[in-house]
Amino acid sequence: MLVYLIRRLFNVVATLLVVSVVTFGIFFAVPKITGSDPALMYAGRETNETALAGIRVKMGFDKPISEQYLTFVKGIFVGRDYDGGTDVTHCAAPCFGYSFKTEAPVWETMVDRMPVTLSLALGAAVIWVIAGVATGVVSALKRRTAIDRTVMVGALAGVSLPIFFTGMVAPAIFVYGLGWLDVSNYRPLTEDPVAWLNSMLLPWVTLAFLFAATYARITRATMLDVLGEDYIRTARAKGLKEGVVIRKHALRSTLTPIVTMFGLDLGGLLGGAVLTETTFNFQGLGTAAVAAIGQGDLPVIMGVTLLAALFVVMANLIVDLLYAVIDPRVRLT
């Protein structure tokens, strides 16, 4: 178990290293291909050759790529000093560099954007897991009835309709039609919980609808498979009430693949839910990344990519560990 954990953590580090090398490589390759100069990006509109040279020295662009990469990695863990000879700028750990556009530290931007994405992803996750699994189970138990068909048509709609469509229709119904909710921009939970909840509900439901639909379909299919298993027949042969057979025996097995999916989906979303954030005009990691891509703001792209990779890799690890807890047949070796 401990050996397994150490090996997995080693894998995590290795994966992140590869991701960082690749993103850093792109960071360097892109200016070379497009013929732009990263120093020019920092310099702004009015500049001259001396100023550019100064920036190159300060940002370390004059050094070889390998050295720049090592400095970058070191910056993430211990921080780094941008030494321009006369002026020294200290960038505290974790230092991901500075944005080309805002000149703010990338880490600050990410920390700023994180609560939005976190609120969105976690809230939606709770909703989609409960709604998706519940409807999937009901659908499986009532298979080939009107309830099952209705749920499955709904799920098909959820899978097929893009966020930017449901994200537009949902406010039209709940805000302007029924008047149940206000449409409002994101408000931090710490400042005003009620406003936060109010601002989050529609994005949650919109995002959760997409995932709940997938989860309902998978839950239904898995549940039907499990209900056909011999051990379910054994449970019934023991004289267990049907409710106990479903809850204790069938659901337990059904949830295993769901847990895996959930971990990976959530890990992916924590890196930014681009469409939902854009549709609801939220300033999250997703919109930050998209904006950075549009502007060629390479340091921000790198930072968000690394952070997203970290979430995915960690989610993978947690899912695998959880798997061993759920399924006693899984040996972590």
Partner 1 sequence: MTENPTTGSGPAFVPEQAGPPAQGTAFLSVRDLKVHFPTDDGLVKSVDGLSFDLERGKTLGIVGESGSGKSVTSLAIMGLHRTGNARSRPHISGQVVLDGEDLVRADADHVRKLRGHKMAMVFQDPLSAMHPYYSVGKQIIEAYRTHHDVDKKTARTRAVEMLDRVGIPEPHRRVDAYPHEFSGGMRQRAMIAMALVNNPELLIADEPTTALDVTVQAQILDLIRDLQKEFGSAVIMITHDLGVVAEMADDILVMYGGRCVERGSAEKVFYEPRHPYTWGLLGSMPRIDREQTERLIPVKGSPPSLINIPSGCAFNPRCPYADVPKGGITRTQRPELTEDGGRHWSACHMSHDERTRIWTEEIAPKL
Nearer to partner 1, 120 or 255 (CB): 255
| Strand-pair partners of 118 | none
> 75 with 96: CB under 8 angstroms?
yes
Figure out which of the listed residues 194, 294, 329, 333 binds partner 1, where binding follows CB under 8 A.
329
Asked if 96 and 106 touch (Cβ cutoff 8 Å), the reply is yes
Burial 4-21 (b: 16+ CB within 10 A, else e): eeeebeeebeebbeebbe
**Residue type at 77 in one-letter notation:** F
* Per-residue interface string for the shown chain with partner 1, residues 189-228, x marking contact by CB under 8 A: --------------------------------------x-
Over the window 132 to 151, marking each residue x when it contacts partner 1 by CB under 8 A and - when it does not, the resulting string is ---------x-xxx------
Question: Maximum CA pair distance of the chain?
Answer: 86
Nearer Cβ to partner 1 (182/229): 229
Minimal distance in Å, beta carbon 220 to partner 1?
A: 13
Find residue 81's DSSP bridge partners: 90
The DSSP string of 155-202 is HHHHHHS-HHHHHHHHHIIIIIIS--S-------TTT-HHHHHHHHHH
Distance CA 9, CA 222 (A): 31
Count residues contacting partner 1 (CB under 8 A)? 27
In angstroms, give the least distance from the CB of 262 to partner 1: 18
- The verdict on 235 binding partner 1 (CB under 8 A) reads yes
Stretch that binds partner 1, among 23-31, 65-73, 152-160, 235-243 (CB under 8 A): 235-243
Considering only 74, 149, 233, 247, the residue that binds partner 1 (CB under 8 A) is 233
CB atoms within 10 A of CB 322: 16
Least spacing, CB of residue 83 vs partner 1, in Å:
59
Contact 283, 102 (CB under 8 A): no
Task: Give me the least distance between CB of 139 and partner 1, in Å please.
Answer: 12
Closest CA to 187 of 197, 172, 202: 197
| Binders of partner 1 in range 62-91 (CB under 8 A) | none
3-state secondary structure (DSSP) of residue 105 = strand
Among 22, 92, 229, 247, binds partner 1 (CB under 8 A): 229
Alpha carbon of residue 160 to chain centroid: 21
Query: In terms of CB distance, is 122 or 240 closer to partner 1?
Result: 240
Name the DSSP letter for residue 245: I
Q: Cβ 247 to partner 1, closest distance in Å? A: 12
Nearer to partner 1, 73 or 141 (CB): 141
- Site stretch for partner 1 (CB under 8 A), options 184-192, 232-240, 279-287, 296-304: 232-240
**Of residues 238-267, those binding partner 1 (CB under 8 A):** 238-242, 245, 248-249, 252-253
Residues that bind partner 1 (CB under 8 A): 141, 143-145, 227, 229-231, 233-242, 245, 248-249, 252-253, 326-329
